[in-house]
A and B are shown apart, each in its own frame.
Chain A
Amino acid sequence: MAEAASGLEAIQVSKRFGATQALGGVSLSIQAGEFMALLGPSGCGKTTLLRCIAGLIDPDGGDIRLGGRALKGVQPWHRDIGVVFQNYALFPHMNVAENVAFGLKMRRMKPAEIKAKVERALALVRMESFAARFPSQLSGGQQQRVALARAIAIEPVLLLLDEPMAALDAKLRGAMQLEVRELQSRLGITTVLVTHDQDEAMTMSDRIAIMSEGRIEQVAAPAELYLKPANRFVADFIGRSNQIVGNIVAAADGSLALQPDADAALRLPVPSTAPRQGRVLLMVRPEAIEILPGAVGVPAGMVGVQAIAADRIMTGDRISLYCQLGGLSLYGTLPSQAEKLAALPEKGAPVTLAWRESDAMVFAA
């Protein structure tokens, strides 16, 4: 529906609320037709950035350009940006069709044209048969569809989604994520999603901008964020990992190892990319750890440690095995399959934990 998708450029956007620096000079470039997520913990500035783009708040400094046009001084009602709000913000006194028609009426289109566009927008979200219902008569998922139809009916140059799935239950949320993503790529509309849910961001987006304390930590595709986090914050925020803080020490043969704070007698292997000295944080994703029963030694091409099996925890699609290594605890995960479960070492049995050097991440601590 969107005639020509537009790229979005944020340049050094800053915003301060009282003593809080909500945005500290954020720069972000989104390509035409791209689906970009702003992901971060609450208070990281993602919603502030979205509201600056929509024109609902004015940034203190910086520029936002949409399709090459500077948005500074352009009122929200002149921006042609569709927004789906967190609780949908449907107009309670209008039925579904009137809600969707609102933006078109504001553009003073002819009634026949409005009718056709409303029907098309409702068909896109499969809500044609609900045109005469009022928002209070719809389920959460249906309200969300209407909010989406209302936002895309105006054929916006940019679509903003502000935590649109937060109010839905888990099953429905998963289905809506795929549906919205499918609709977005079909329409080719540039989209910015604000969310604190990393699964949602990963499921829906081409790229994700990780935000923290008013700054962007990393902008990358989901796989890259997970496998090659740019810094400690991103590595910690995305996914789960074993995290060991300690000092780099040199062994007798000159090779480097990590001496963990939790147990100074231990030496853990570190990748060759690690700094040659100082305090570091070693991170290994649990699914990168191979669990070998018995003190069998580390397979060739891998690094690892000997440990003692402790508790196992079943969390649906995977099993986590916690292992004790002196004062240190490490865990690895396996897919939940019967034969894998049967092969797991018993509590108290020796176990070898091995991982590829390239799967270990080291950050200055």
Chain B
Amino acid sequence: MHPVIRTVLQRLGLGLLTLFAVSVIIFSSLELLPGGFAEAILGQGATPETVAAFNKSLGLDRPPVTRYVEWLGGAVQGDFGKSFAGAGGWREENVRFVSDIIGPRFYNTFFLAALTALIAVPIAIALGLFAALYRNGWFDRIINSVTLTTIASPEFFVAYVLVLIAVGNKNGFAAVLPDGWGPMVKPFVSWIPDLPPLATVSKGTPFWEHVWKAILPAITLTLVIVAHMMRMTRASIISLLANPYIEMAKLKGLSPRQVIVRHALPNAWAPIATVIAFNLAYLVVGVVVVEVVFTYPGIGQLMVDSVGSRDMPVAQACALIFAATYILLNLVADIIAIVTNPRLLHPK
């Protein structure tokens, strides 16, 4: 077998194995709960009969291994069982399926992530390229300190600064600036569009309105991941420019533009693609906080809500989706790195 295919298959197998182990951990954490789940939901004063009825209605009275196999089998087909909210076994029509709750929210989160990626990836690559070309110049220095600050700031800080700007430009930052300064800064901020500080979308929201409402969360996420992406792009291009063939191209008398476009970039795509896939995985974390800040109805917010109300099937499903996305994107990053590695492509 070709070594590339073998390595890729190995990596895929390892990814699947990791995902399996993660699913076991996510599922078994439910078993850790002392006194069983029913007591936690129904309260300590619940009678044994109520607890038994609750357990039976959710199928919690069967052995864990059976339930795990069922849960995993269902999860693979997109069925995560019933939510604990409204469960209790008294009324069948109150029971809600986890997949029904997650479905529309999954679309929303995917929408936000895709929008962020569309904005962030071109900006990050352009910035990284320029920072590498004009290394140690003023542009590089400014970009460097700005990105270091956004990396170190919590996402909600970046988000609220943006909200403050979006809201403040309406009243000329009256509450932020001392008296009389408002009219002075007005001409400088009047170009900022009147962005909605809350991203309240619903199922029937038209596409462009959805984009408009999700723009502030997307910019927040962009600021956070562009910093990582740009720094890694810069580092990989700088290490690339240190290669002898770049020096050769320069010595031949090629223009800097030709050196970059003809000689550096073709070799840079692989590391850049890896960087992008790796950083998009970071969105998994960012999306949770940002969705809560902007009350955007996505999986992140759902997970936080379900953790607060201890609705475990929903929390588990969200955790599994996030974990699978994260593992998948890291896998993609790895596979891109393997496939584009010339040492593996041309074996001796």
Chain A partners chain B: no
